[in-house]
Amino acid sequence: MKKLILLIALFCSTLCYAQSPSNIGRMYDDKPFIPHEMEGYFDLDEAIAAATKLNKPILVDVTGFANNNGREMEQVVWGNERILTMLKNDFVICALYVDDNNKADDGQRLGTKNSKLAADRWGVNAQPGYIILSPDGETVLAGPYGYNTDIDSYISFLEEGLAKL
């Protein structure tokens, strides 16, 4: 029964997500969502600018449109009240889609650009992948953290990043 409920939740999350109004006007605002009506960015440079201004670490979410494990993490883990509060209050969220076919300003496919960035800078070549960066984007504070729906483990990951700030 638990698996059936999880499958229904994942199916509904794929169909029911809407772009958060707070994401409108960002450079690449045609992305489908940052979950749970959180503010966030789809471009690392924009996330760095916001994080520097707010003096908050950046939670990079290496994800994809066809990332079922990522949708599960968003529902099960990010949906946890304590984690969601931490994400909304203590971090700047940056979702980098590795299967985005839109073009960047330089003409390169965004997915290719994001995939190369994640692999080259953080050694992440699977989704989901989470990295916590310093506000200037230069220092990895925690991670990479992959698919693991254990709530306590993810809280420890977030706390590790905050403690190193």
pLDDT in tens, 85-129: 999 999 999 999 999 998 888 999 999 999 999 999 999 999 999
Residue 20 is predicted with a pLDDT of: 39
Residue 159 has pLDDT above 60, yes or no: yes
d(CA 128, CA 89): 22
Task: Please name every residue paired with 60 in a beta bridge, in sequence order, or none if there are none.
Answer: 94, 131
Q: Does residue 25 carry a pLDDT above 60?
A: no
pLDDT for position 10: 46
pLDDT at residue number 32: 58
Higher pLDDT, 111 or 16: 111
Query: Please, what is the Cα angle at 84 between 79 and 118, to 5 degrees?
Result: 90
Please name the amino acid found at residue 149.
Answer: T
Is the distance from CB of 49 to CB of 55 less than 8 angstroms? no
Residue 27 has pLDDT above 60, yes or no: no
Q: Which amino acid is at 118?
A: A
Position 155 confidence tier, pLDDT thresholds 50, 70, 90: very high
Considering the entire predicted model, what is its pTM? 0.82
Q: Which of 12-21, 58-67, 68-77 has the lowest mean pLDDT?
A: 12-21
| Structural domains in the chain plus CATH codes | 2-163 (3.40.30.10)
